[in-house]
Amino acid sequence: GAAGADGSAAEGLEAAAAGFRQAAAQVLSAVQQHALACVREEEEAMAALMAKAVATQSARIDLRLSQLDQLCAAVRSQRSSLEHDRHVLFAERLSLERRKIIATEQLKAQFQAKQQQQQQQPEPPQHEPPNMVAITLAPSPAVKAEEAPDVKMHEAHNGSGQ
């Protein structure tokens, strides 16, 4: 009997061990399934975050490209404006230079015409300057004779007191 009891106990232990193994396999399988589900969720969450990050970066890049396009358009507009201003300035300088040349030629022509006119006309006779006569006021009665100006001296000096 003891051997039979031992055999049945061994079989019972074996059956229990097999049950534990099966239960352990089921637990491991459930843990594995749960782990795989967690991994899938994390992968999906990471993929969603990555897609969101890529979309955000793409939007930032699009915004920067838009700003660069606006900046390029502004630079092209300024460049065009500067080119126009440069052409206007060149035309104004050219016009000013032409007017300067015309004015210079007109002045030369007027000067030459005056010279020719002066050469054709006889020179007017040189007049002697008129005699200068000093005019003095008569002394007031309150002035003493010594303080009165000498009228005769002035007339004699100018040659008209004789």
Each residue's pLDDT tens digit, 61-120: 999 999 999 999 999 999 999 999 999 999 999 999 999 999 999 999 999 999 988 888
Q: What's the pLDDT band for 162 if we cut at 50, 70, 90?
A: very low
Report the predicted TM-score, pTM, of the whole model to 2 decimal places.
0.42
Contact 150, 142 (CB under 8 A): no
Contact 93, 100 (CB under 8 A): no
- Amino acid 15: pLDDT: 86
H-type alpha helices, the chain: 2-120, 151-158
pLDDT cut 70: percent of the chain above it: 70
**Residues ≥6 apart with Cβ < 8 Å to 147:** 139
- Amino acid 120: pLDDT: 83
Distance CA 116, CA 107 (A): 14
136, pLDDT greater than 70: no
Report phi then psi at 95, rounded to 5.
Answer: -65, -45
